[in-house]
Structure 1
Amino acid sequence: MVLGRGNFSRSVAFRWIVSYAVILLIPVALSVIVYSQTREIVEYEIKRASVAMLKQVKYIVDGELRQTENLAAQLTVHPDVRHFLDLKAETGASAYHIYRTEQQLKKMLAANDFLKDIYIYSNALDSVLSGETYASARMFYEMKNQTGTFAYEDWRELMIADHAGQYVQLPVKNKEKKENTPSYIRSFPAQAGSGAAGTLLIPLNAEKIKTMLENIDWVKKGQVFIVDPNGQILFQNSENVEALSATYRKWIGRGTSTFTDTFQGKKSMITIESSDTSGWSYVSVFPVDVFWERARAVRTLNVLGLALCIGIGGLLIYYFARKNYDPVKELVNVFSLRQRQGTSRDLDEYTYIRRNVLETIRERDDMKNRHVRQLRVLQSYYLSRLMKGQTDRNVPLAEAAMTHHLSWTSDRFAVLLFYIDSDEGGTTDLPLSQFIVSNIVKDSVEGRHAIDFTDVDGTLGAVVNVAPGRADCWKDEIEDALAQAYEFITARYKLRFTTVGSDLQTGLDGVHQAFLQALEAQEYRMVLGEDALIWYGNVKPSEGSYFFTVNDEMILLNLLKADEFEKAKGMIDQIVQRAFQRQTPLEMAKCVLLDVATTLIKSIPGPEQAGVAWEEWRPLKRLLSCATKAEFHQELHDIFDKVCGVLRSRQTAHAGAGIGDQVAEFVKENYRDPNLSVSMIGDRFRLTPQYVSRLFREQIGQGLHDFISQTRVEAAKALLQTGASIDDTAARVGFASGHAFIRVFKKYVGITPGKYKALQ
């Protein structure tokens, strides 16, 4: 295909040139936009940098303030501090306790360089203790806080006032220089009564905060102030800054914000952050010119970059458009050699190549699909005949696998049969269900063993070719793969399937034998339930004896007659479990269950047996109609419950109304016997321990065990009153040991036998 000069606008070369030019124009346009938006960007960067820096300052200072307040809270409950505050002036201060408290203050002060000092004022002693000195209130004031504007009376009034925890400005001497220092003040609550026991004063280290501000990025190019709620500067990063006038104090009223204003004759960006911890305000002031210096450099670079981008980009557009068009031109020439009738010469190169390639691929795919469909039909037909034993068995294994494109790698085979059912909302189309199950199971099994599926008279069958060297673990691997596939298919497609499998067989002849074994295992699928994987080797009938013997029948009858219904029910569950072991023939299992049902009916007395068991229940007829293990089990439980109901009603009717009085009399006569217990009483009256205990409680209104213990305790009290020893009393009233006697006696009397004896 050759394009003329008039058709160049439809060529891909023209499109490439236009595309490259558009791509080149994108950064050019973006650069112009960035250039036009430089002012907004610079202002945004100014605000962002100011806010970030100021937040950094606020977080650091607020963190130190929180540590200061936490330290103050610890000192209010510190035992040494409390002991110091409790000292009285009239008794004389303890030098040891003062020294010990002073050492504790030194340790706390050394651990926090944000604090300048820690002062504790005691109302009782009218003195101040710090980590360096202990002095009277007057002397401490003269050493630390005396100024012309701050009298001693003002200082002492501040000390004795009640403070919940706040920051104040106090004049502090620093190297013979008077300066106002922010200080945290808090009152110590008194141990008893009203008023405060003293006051805690913690001056902050202003030099530390100033040094911290000077070390933060951007601060050297601007000014940072920390201002109290009254508009007074607490800290600043430079000494050569005029104090905030009334004009600047209006900034504080705006709260947290960023805005532009004039400061010291320069247009500056003002940023304010308010602290939730102390109520302080953090103010930063940065000249806008600092940032515009960088913006001007950016604008210059943008202009140079645009010019360079357009020049170099034009050259690259021409070079790459020409270089990339050469392979396309060669492909067009190749397809032009086999020009098809009806192909337009006005198409662009890509459309022309695409149309020719798609036609070739379509022809190839059609041929491949026809071949695959034919191959699948032949494979399914061959596998079905192989399972039924209808193929030529003399054909070598390798030749059969190659002929039907089967990836068999060994001569060991097994057969699986799948029985598929759908849940509500699942597909009911059998071919579609078989397609879903076969594909997902194949994906799960392949990689370990080869598996091929076919339809065998409406049932999905599979021939598994076990990989060489994996004959010992193939069953476990198949079970894992089927479990994964079952979980996915059930959740995704609402399908359930039961699998039966054969033992491992050898050679092509073994495939037919494996198929017969899978069919034989199918019988157990109905009995053991649908959600199961059943192997022929696990259900293959074995020679075994009839395990429900006459002795077992007598044991079951005795348990029913003795009112041991729970034990009888457990025995029946064990018999059902054993009957449906997979090596037990089904005929034998059904006979055993019929014998169990007959034994249950035998336990009913003769007069009631004929009317109730045979005419009303018809248990054997219902048992013979069961088909699965769950149905057999449930039917036996129903028969058992009905038999227990009849036996309990007879037992209740025959239980004497005066059995409680008889038992009580028996206990009073035999309480000295150490072996006396509920079980012994049940044997005496020919009743089970549970039943005799229940009858006693119903008729007497008290538990039998409690009655025995109280009878013994009453007898013991009489012996103790006569002066008998504890061990002798315990032995005479039927207790096995003195410890048991003491424990039971205290439970019912409330005191030990020894105390009871002493009170008499």
Structure 2
Amino acid sequence: MKQQKKLMFSKSVAYKWMVSYAVIMLIPLIVSAIIYLQTKQIVEYEIERAGHAMLKQMQNTVDSEMNQAEKMAMQLSIHNDVNKYLNLTLPDERTQSFQIYKARQELSKYKSTNDFVTGIYLYSSRLDKVLTDETYVDSNTFYEINRQMIGMPYADWLTMLKGEADREKGLLPQIEFKRWGTNVVLMKPFSNAGGENVLRGTLVLPLNGSKIQNMLKNVDWVNNGDVYIVDKNQQILFQSNSLANFQSVPFADEGEKGAGTSFMDIAGTENMVSFIDSDTTDWRYISVFPSSVFWEKAREIRNLNLFGLLLCFFVGGGVISYYARKNYNPVRELVNMFSGATDEQSQRVLDEFAFIRESALATIRERDDSNSRQFRQLRVLQTYYLSRLLKGQIEDGLTVEEAARLHHFEWESEDFAVLLFYIQGCGEDGPSPSLANFIVSNILKDFTGEHHGLSFTEMDGMLAAVMNIGAGRSASWKEDIEEALAKMLEFIKQKYRLHIVMAGSERHTGLNSLHLGYLQALEAQEYRLVLEENVSVWYGDIEPQQTDYYLSLNDEVVFINLIKSGELAKASGMVDDILAQFFGSQVSIELVRYAMIDLSSSIMKAVPQETQRSKLWEEWRPMKRLLVCTTRGEFRQELMELTAIACGMANEKLTLMSNNGIGEEVSAYVKDNYADINLSVSMIGAHFGITPQYVSKLFKEQTGQGLHDYISQIRTAEAKVLLQDGVTIEEISARVGFSSSSAFIRVFKKYEGITPGRYKNLQ
């Protein structure tokens, strides 16, 4: 029951209103949801931009200090006292002690000018001693004093100072950074000026790690993350968190470009990793911070946004439900009042939208149907009344004004004329006769305008019009209708491909004269037979002259003999002479119809009797074809066609009578074309130029066998040969001219007594 009520409510107007309001409410909700989803991306973008700026600031500061240290190393490499010290040998060491002192003083000066380095160590390969700004001792003693700082075995440390590993690679670097334990040093090797593959010494500048670490700690978010400086081998040179035990950063090579940011999982925690490459060294600056750091504030914004979405959803849903039901009640009362439903069940299942729509459509349809019925009834009454008027059946004492008011005619005067229209289409794709009458009547009314009133009906297969001549147009009514007819003919011929010919009566006064007008128009229409084609005729323009009808018996015998002998040219010439006798002057229609009957009967006498009994001759129906002609041109065309057909039949009979060898020719033709599926008696007759009936009759007379049976026997004989060769029945049926295998089996069994399959098995 609840499910049924739910289904009923889904058809209600209130439900549709609620859905419409909900769709409108969803627009801001969707926008808010999109903003909610974009919050994380916006925050991430801002954090990335801030982190990149901080790294860039730190990179600029550290790179600037490194440039100063590198410049110091380059200046010391070209200093005269430093080079003199490196060129000393063991024998010269005692004599050049002042020179060593001067070099140490220079180192002390340079150290005091740059707090980025914690000391300056100059190792001499020839003396195997280390000169600093404070001491001058041999390498072993220096190592023992600074063992903790160096953080590696003495042999490895000495090998690094002598650059033996770099010499094996074949290339000595200008300046490189090395890691001594927890310290990073800048090393500048001094090559031998003599080209020997031995270093004169190495300049070592320990970097101030505490200062760099303080720079890293100055980054705003360092308390929640880590900042690293790594070399090209991903070895950590400096880091903000001194308690971290990483020796290298495995994610340092994630980015191949100069700078970038990515999110990755490190030790089970999502972190934002930003990096930037140094402009002067092969170092990379990396910051690693948990994503939760920058989401602490953003989470509050997201929660507030989500709360607002939920609040809008529930409040908006309640408001929608309230106003939808409030606006729905008047509509529901109106629907219940017009629906006529008394029980609650009928009222509840009613779809208001469908009911209103169907009720409106039903009312419109009812109105249109009523108007259409009234219009059709009025047209039927008008047509019936006009037909009675044209036939002379009129009510006594009924005036024109009363008739117009009673039958809704637009008649304004007492003057009338009757017009008859002969309408003929130009092809099979033209409009039907009823549609053609409708087109002509409406277009003619439009072109006639308001000068005259036209009312149409059908009389004896023609469109008849009762024309009420407008007041003041009695002198030019013929010109008006001819002008309108000319416009209509041009329009209809182009668009509807119709040929129209009009015949009209003279002007008459009163309803009693309409019958006379119809007879005049009918006589004018019939008289078009003696005029040219498609010429409109007025009754006042015809003046028939009575002439004698004369067609001698001798002329008829000559005409029949010409047809029997097949002389078409002479027979056609005689037809033209006979027509010239009738149409040489204006004759009566009766004489023309007499001539039609005589000529058609003469043609029928000349046709062989067996042809007259055939179905083909019944289809030609020469008498009917001549009697339906309405113009002189149509009458001559039909008469010439019938004459040609009759002469062709006579020639066909003469040809058959003279051709005694037709049986052999037909047999040869069948043997050559038996595989053609279209081979038939009609095809053979068309090939030899004679009718199928006569070719079949002549073949049987000459061979003693029916032509159809002969064709089937030839095909059966050829099929037997193919069966012996193992060809399939389907292929045989196609190769010997049968339309299907079933037809082949039926014919084969008829002439051989067994089926093709059994015949094939017997072979």
**Would the TM-score normalized by the shorter structure come out above 0.5?**
no
**How would you bin the TM-score normalised by the shorter chain?**
0.3 to 0.5
Which is greater in Rg?
2
Q: What TM-score do you get using the length of structure 1 for normalisation? A: 0.33
Q: What TM-score do you get using the length of structure 2 for normalisation? A: 0.33
